[in-house]
Amino acid sequence: MNKNSLTPRQLRKRERIINVAVKLFVKHGIQGTSMQLLAKRADIATGSIYNYFENKETLIRETFLHLSEEESKYILEGYDESLPVKERFEYLLRRSIRFKSLHPDKFRFKSQYVHTAAVMDDIRSSEISSMEECLAVSTGKYMPNKK
Q: What are 12-59's pLDDT values in tens digits? A: 999 999 999 999 999 999 999 999 999 999 999 999 999 999 999 999
| Residue 144 burial (C-beta neighbours within 10 Å; 0-12, 13-18, 19+) | middle
- Long-range CB pairs of 122-125 (<8 Å, 24+ gap) are 122/61, 122/65, 123/61, 123/64, 123/65, 123/68
Task: Give domain limits for the chain.
Answer: 3-139
> Thinking of the domain 3-139, which architecture would CATH place it in?
Orthogonal Bundle (1.10)
8 A C-beta contact, residue 92 and residue 134: yes
pTM: 0.78
| Confidence (pLDDT) at 114 | 80
